[in-house]
């Protein structure tokens, strides 16, 4: 029989439905894989073996009684900035090292309703600030494709455990590429849904107007199944959009004939690796061969998205992280004589260097005399970028671009140059600025066998078309994760 841990979410679900497998067998297989492999990967911060097996037994009992759900009994890994009742949620920070939430995030309630066993909480850049998972206060996660490479960030643990067959799927969060870039670096599939599609209630906030929870999986079909389980309106989240959501997998199998896919000329310029450029342009040729029309468009303001993003996200981080003051919850310094010292020492000792850097940048951008010069201008640029996306989508159905300028780089290679690390987000942050959905998936390998990712961007709330096109490409070329890069 096939190794259980290499099966897709869809295959696991069908095998449990037919009685070929039980959730307990599946969950034990993944826990064994974690025991065998995670010392090398460092993907998990917390493993919840007993709770996962209890949930698996409950799922098997429910199935025997006739219960049906797409994810019933399929285990998952959860990024450690998503609140889990009774289970530590650390944000990979000393500040929240011992924080146990008294409630579940809405996405966790949805997974519980589906009967999903939780294998554990996975590593990330501290408070989701970073692109390599080197900023965690606890450990550095390694890329399963090459142990000396980063897995990407900030959802590096989520991507790594899926790539290492330590979870069939994982949840991550994406503020400026934090699902899509790790998916590209690790050779898995990641979706940043439309802003408002998935509830942010219970997601520890980094930048509230940009954050969005989404799934990381082995295949496009799996991704659509998981998004279907977590999407939907939530009255607890004021930014959650109250509209009907479709069967996200409904377009899979329809092909791309009749779709117009755009290449933005600004996405293929200076700084892009030749191998990445070649792989993405070859993907465009595959879409053309399958019947799509490829066109070239321009977004003149695309290069302004990165500075606008870092001003907006840092300003919102400065505001959101003000609550971590050593008074109510979280880390509290033992060295203080008055309330001012308590604040200063708790935050100085509790936050890591990258978080401090962004808090200071954001506080500066919001300060008197600089607000108009930086924050207000960044918001105006956000409006311009959103309008440029609207104009593009009047002339095309999807936009195709690289996810990152390079493949996964070596651990430590960019950790001492924050600006160089920030420039790696150049292709992903415009999506968050525009609030549109984007699907990251593998489109080949470089000369060393490392995965290369492409992203498909779509209109607001049109994830169905993204999955339709992604699945057509995957059917033509094979799933990179399952084929081990056999392009």
User: Active site residue: 132, 136, 178, 318, which one?
Assistant: 178
**Is 289 a residue of the active site?**
no
- Tell me which residue of 347, 355, 341 sits closest to 323, measured CA to CA: 347
C-beta of residue 305 within 8 angstroms of C-beta of residue 266: no
Rounded Cα distance between 270 and 278, Å, is: 14
Question: Annotated catalytic residue: which of 154, 155, 313, 438?
Answer: 154
Is 79 a catalytic site residue? yes
HSE-CB for 265 with a 13 A CA cutoff? 6
Rounded to the nearest 10°, the torsion over CA 122, 413, 433, 287 is -90
Q: Which of 13, 79, 158, 440 is catalytic?
A: 79
Q: Under 8 Å CB-to-CB from 356, ≥6 apart: which residues?
A: 347, 348
- Establish whether 178 is a catalytic residue: yes
Residues 30 and 15: their CA atoms lie apart, in Å, by: 16
30-39 contacts, C-beta under 8 A, 24 or more apart: 30/4, 30/5, 30/75, 30/119, 30/165, 30/166, 30/167, 30/168, 31/119, 33/5, 33/164, 33/165, 33/166, 34/119, 34/120, 34/161, 34/166, 37/144, 37/164, 37/165, 37/166, 38/161, 38/164, 38/166
Active site residues: 79, 154, 178
């Amino acid at each position: 029989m096939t190794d259980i841990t290499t099966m897709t979410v869809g295959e696991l679900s069908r095998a449990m439905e037919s009685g070929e497998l039980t959730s307990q067998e599946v969950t034990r297989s993944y826990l064994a894989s974690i025991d065998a492999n995670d010392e090398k990967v460092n993907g998990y911060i917390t493993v919840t073996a007993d709770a996962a097996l209890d949930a698996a037994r409950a799922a098997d009992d429910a199935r025997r009684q006739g219960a049906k759900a797409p994810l019933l009994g399929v285990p998952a890994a959860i990024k450690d900035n998503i609140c889990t009742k009774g289970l530590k949620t650390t944000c990979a920070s000393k500040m929240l090292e011992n924080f146990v939430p008294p409630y579940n995030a809405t996405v966790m309630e949805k997974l519980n309703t589906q009967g999903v066993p939780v294998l554990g909480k996975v590593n990330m850049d501290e408070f989701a600030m970073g692109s390599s998972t080197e900023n965690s206060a606890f450990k550095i996660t390694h890329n399963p494709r090459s142990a000396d490479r980063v897995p990407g960030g900030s959802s590096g643990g989520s991507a790594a455990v899926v790539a290492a067959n330590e979870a069939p799927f994982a949840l991550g969060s994406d503020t400026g590429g934090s699902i899509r870039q790790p998916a590209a670096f690790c050779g898995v599939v990641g979706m940043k849904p439309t802003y408002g599609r998935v509830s942010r209630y219970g997601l520890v906030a980094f930048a509230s107007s940009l954050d969005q929870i989404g799934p990381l999986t082995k295949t496009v079909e799996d991704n659509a199944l998981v998004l279907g389980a977590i999407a939907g309106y939530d009255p607890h989240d004021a930014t959650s959009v109250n509209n009907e959501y479709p069967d996200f997998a409904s377009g899979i199998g329809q092909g791309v004939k009749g779709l117009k896919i755009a290449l933005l000329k600004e996405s293929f310029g200076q700084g892009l690796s030749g191998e990445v450029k070649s792989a993405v342009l070859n993907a465009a040729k595959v879409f053309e061969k399958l019947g799509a029309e490829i066109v070239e468009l321009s977004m003149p303001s695309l290069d302004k998205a990165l500075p606008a993003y870092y001003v907006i996200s840092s300003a919102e981080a400065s505001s959101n992280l003000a609550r971590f003051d050593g008074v109510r919850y979280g880390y509290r310094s033992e060295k203080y004589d008055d309330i001012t010292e308590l604040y200063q020492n708790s935050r100085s000792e509790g936050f890591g260097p990258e978080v401090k850097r962004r808090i200071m940048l954001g506080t500066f951008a919001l300060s008197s005399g600089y607000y108009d010069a930086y924050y207000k201008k960044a918001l105006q640029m956000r409006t311009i970028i959103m309008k440029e996306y609207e104009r593009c989508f009047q002339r095309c159905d999807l936009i195709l671009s690289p996810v990152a300028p390079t493949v996964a780089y070596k651990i430590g290679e960019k950790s001492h140059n924050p600006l160089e690390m920030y420039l790696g987000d150049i292709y992903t942050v415009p999506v968050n600025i525009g609030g549109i959905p984007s699907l990251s998936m593998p489109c080949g390998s470089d000369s060393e066998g490392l995965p290369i990712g492409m992203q498909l961007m779509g209109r607001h709330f049109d994830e169905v078309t993204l999955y339709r096109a992604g699945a057509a490409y995957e059917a033509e070329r094979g799933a990179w994760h399952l084929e081990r890069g056999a392009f």
